Chains A and B, each alone.
Chain A
């Protein structure tokens, strides 16, 4: 049992309100990824949970116990830093054992734990080296080892993979997932990389501007974004947004019109915002959005075309067989009823394409 509950958390630096009141419940054993652009307050939130910063307003509970005033060492949490923060003057072994020595743990027990963690992370041969003598990936693993030996009930990760190259990142992602399965501890993971979020998370919490935008399982967020921000932040290329208004059974905007999805609430009318994932668009001669191709990205198996239309620039996926060139005039259309509908200001989703998916819980920030 190591459940973390944040209620109404606020934090300001000077006059700058960074975290503007966050409510979030992190379940025991969960791998929760906090995702958002830089400056969205996610790292600050992590540091508040760690106890590195003082909470201004609100309450933090871990396992039901109020933690606001509890010093970091008594919170039973371990943290892996973005820069790894390995102590340069200590060997790998000393780095990993440091926290345990401070707790005056029995020497044999320390040695056992360090050994175990080193094995788990394949660091056994490097124990007597200094951090300077290690590669980036090795340092990263030492940083994790330092957290693991503590056997905390909660792990905190602050963008731990952002300093690695792509190949290593993929590998470390795998190791992290393995680690989570093995340790079954609660893990809270901050990143701005949506791939990490999608591949690692049990649930993802998306932040923007100091506010929680949505929290849910990765695919749920992808398919049922609660607002324009979440829709746009997840998925690559980003979701296309076009302004439209509903008149009767049609949604029309600058230079296009398409039938309103059947399940769109009849109450919804007037100005709206449509969200169209590039993957849900196909090039078709009878497409509703017409325009000239501005750029083409071919990825081998498929590709994306960026089309300038009257409604704005729209990205659309095409299959490898299709021949699209810059300068072509093409038309694209949504596949089926794959249209997300948001309020005109983008703050709230009104309709998602119907997809076979798990039951949804859409949480909304104020």
Chain B
């Protein structure tokens, strides 16, 4: 299948084809995997081809590739997605090959579904408490002890007793469980948010933050640097954090999370299991199973410990000298015993977004711990649409046929023009020859996908199955079912944000671009070329890089913007916690990236205005401002308008900036229509049909806009008439 540039993949015929192994590892974990794969090749003679995939493209790539038979033989993923993988049919059962006794029981249990096992557990991921041994001689056993220590270790400014990524529900879960909360209703299995333990756990964490025991809005990077600088005495994190610690400076130990004094319950973290899955479409199923199994036991497990600092799921590994003498592994193994295996249910995957909303709402202020549960509950309901009832496709098919018949009738009965076809369109044959290649390309790779996209909008997708639901998706969107129209998830709210987004951006692009063009227009201006070159730099930077760059610039702790504010004596701003600042950050990014285009267009347009018009105006006694208003602006219109229209369409669909910079924060309020559609398709249970309906609506909005601007364009052409 690897047709072009496939390198040494084509081995001699008698040797088996290489096995393909996909993963999203980096650093030591990747290295351990590479070495294990090499060992496998040495022992079996079967080549292994590794592919590291960017993590955010990994699951969508698996979902597309495996059903088409072009995916990997083996892939590595955590167990949370097991159920959705199973529904899509992209994992194979492993019961015939696996030796259950090889693994820790709770790790194996995580991979069981429908009474069968679906992978080989590789490693465990759970949370524990890292402590700086110089600052914390004895790890806290209870939260009471803990709070005493925190008081001592924090100075209310830049020293913190504890640091962890408090905005992430994965890290908050131990608090919830410690306060006796249950994430799922034991009777119905449905997620529940509005509970007492939820409120108490949130209030507890909020209390830690209010007393400056923990930094607010900590990111992984901040946690790491605080701990390495000795400014955070304790950290809640997983085994991967060990690799980040600067052992030259910091002596550390790992301890289980404390017991919540109020309830007497331990803070139980989630247990995540990373597993090697086998694709059901592998052409060499036995070899693939062998590889997956090989990676999970023996030397591979030891390599994983040594290089990747991962906690093996393999029982035998713990018998070896190497692992026994490893305090990190030992401590994590111990904490793993109390850990709560993360359910591999669909319900679990629905919890994250509502919980993130609630958690950030409380920590960033604005929502009281008591209200947060309700907030999450509402978001949960909005996100998890009930499957619409099936509809009969016949009325639609009939409607389609009627439309076609109508069109044919209209075409046939249309009054014939006087002249023959040949005379009206003398170049048809030539035009066909010139257009055919482009038209064919556009048809196959643009129009067909677009038509399929539009077609999807009348289907509902669930678990690998499309069912016809008619207009239900549209009705749900337009009727804003499940949420008020003033809430971030509603189509109208998002539409309003999008329109505002496009308007603000395009006006800024045009005004900045025009202002610069006016400054640069004088051909005798010194260094004109230099200025121009410097000012188009943003255009040359790929826009996802721009977005990443600005995301970093607006970083709460390390961002240059806050550093600048700080230098000016202004209180640093937490950019992504309020709608207005998050929106402003997006706008700043997009303005930076978009003004050069308008500047160049305006520059070209300015140069095309005859200079004698200005002289005439000067003779008439017009002031500079009048000249600008009465000559420059009207004459710029015809050149600027198409650019503005195009710019508006681009901005309207500017996915990268929104998705990367604000990520829709806070709570999806800065999402625009495209990024929302993307989330429905890829982040909210693969609701392709619903997302397609969204896209169709976006499309209609833009179509309306373009019809409107066509009239504008026509009017502006008359300026020159």
Interface set of A (CB-CB < 8 Å, partner B):
12, 14-15, 54, 56
Contacts and interface: CB of A to CB of B under 8 A. Distances in A.
Interface of A is mostly: loop
Nearest to B423: A56
B426 A12 contact: no
Which 7 pairs from chain A and chain B are nearest by CB? A54-B426, A15-B418, A56-B423, A12-B419, A54-B423, A14-B419, A14-B424
B685 to A, nearest CB: 57
Contacts of A54: 423, 426
Contacts of B418: 15
Contacts of B426: 54
Interface in B415-430: 418-419, 423-424, 426
Contacts of B424: 14
B430 to A, nearest CB: 13
Nearest to A56: B423
A89 to B, nearest CB: 20
Interface string B336-377: 000000000000000000000000000000000000000000
B424 to A, nearest CB: 8
7 contacts: A12-B419, A14-B419, A14-B424, A15-B418, A54-B423, A54-B426, A56-B423
A15 B424 CA distance: 10
Nearest to A15: B418
A56 B426 CA distance: 12
Interface of B is mostly: loop
Contacts of A14: 419, 424
A11 to B, nearest CB: 10
A26 to B, nearest CB: 26
A32 B424 CA distance: 32
A50 to B, nearest CB: 16
Contacts of A15: 418
A56 B420 CA distance: 11
Contacts of B423: 54, 56
Nearest to A54: B426
A15 B418 CA distance: 8
Nearest to B418: A15
Contacts of A12: 419
Nearest to B424: A14
A54 B418 CA distance: 17
A14 B420 CA distance: 11
A51 to B, nearest CB: 13
A67 B426 CA distance: 18
Nearest to B422: A54
A183 B427 CA distance: 36
Nearest to A53: B426
A126 B240 CA distance: 77
B542 to A, nearest CB: 34
Nearest to A12: B419
A72 to B, nearest CB: 14
Contacts of A56: 423
B426 to A, nearest CB: 6
A12 B419 CA distance: 10
B379 to A, nearest CB: 61
A15 B426 CA distance: 15
Nearest to B426: A54
Interface string B397-439: 0000000000000000000001100011010000000000000
Interface string B685-715: 0000000000000000000000000000000
A146 to B, nearest CB: 25
A21 to B, nearest CB: 17
A56 B418 CA distance: 13
A14 B417 CA distance: 10
A54 B422 CA distance: 11
A243 to B, nearest CB: 39
A166 to B, nearest CB: 22
A228 to B, nearest CB: 32
A150 B424 CA distance: 33
A14 B423 CA distance: 9
A56 B423 CA distance: 8
A365 B506 CA distance: 62
B421 to A, nearest CB: 14
A51 B276 CA distance: 74
Contacts of B419: 12, 14
B425 to A, nearest CB: 12
B670 to A, nearest CB: 50
B477 to A, nearest CB: 46
A347 B78 CA distance: 97
Q: Which of B423, B424, B426 has the most CB of A within 10 A?
A: B423
Interface in B291-348: none
A12 to B, nearest CB: 7
Interface in B660-696: none
A12 B417 CA distance: 14
A143 B424 CA distance: 32
A238 B132 CA distance: 109
A87 B418 CA distance: 38
A14 B419 CA distance: 8
B218 to A, nearest CB: 62
A54 B419 CA distance: 14
A56 B419 CA distance: 10
A14 B424 CA distance: 7
A275 to B, nearest CB: 39
B416 to A, nearest CB: 13
B517 to A, nearest CB: 26
A28 B106 CA distance: 105
Q: Which of B419, B424, B426 has the most CB of A within 10 A?
A: B419
A246 to B, nearest CB: 45
A306 B144 CA distance: 116
A364 to B, nearest CB: 30
A56 B424 CA distance: 11
Interface in B608-656: none
A54 to B, nearest CB: 6
A14 B418 CA distance: 9
A162 B426 CA distance: 31
A44 B172 CA distance: 83
A12 B423 CA distance: 10
B146 to A, nearest CB: 79
A19 to B, nearest CB: 14
Interface in B456-508: none
A15 B423 CA distance: 11
B579 to A, nearest CB: 55
A68 to B, nearest CB: 13
A253 B426 CA distance: 54
Interface string B22-65: 00000000000000000000000000000000000000000000
A364 B423 CA distance: 30
A94 B252 CA distance: 81
A227 to B, nearest CB: 30
A12 B426 CA distance: 13
A57 to B, nearest CB: 11
B497 to A, nearest CB: 48
A56 B422 CA distance: 11
A199 B418 CA distance: 43
B423 to A, nearest CB: 7
A261 to B, nearest CB: 48
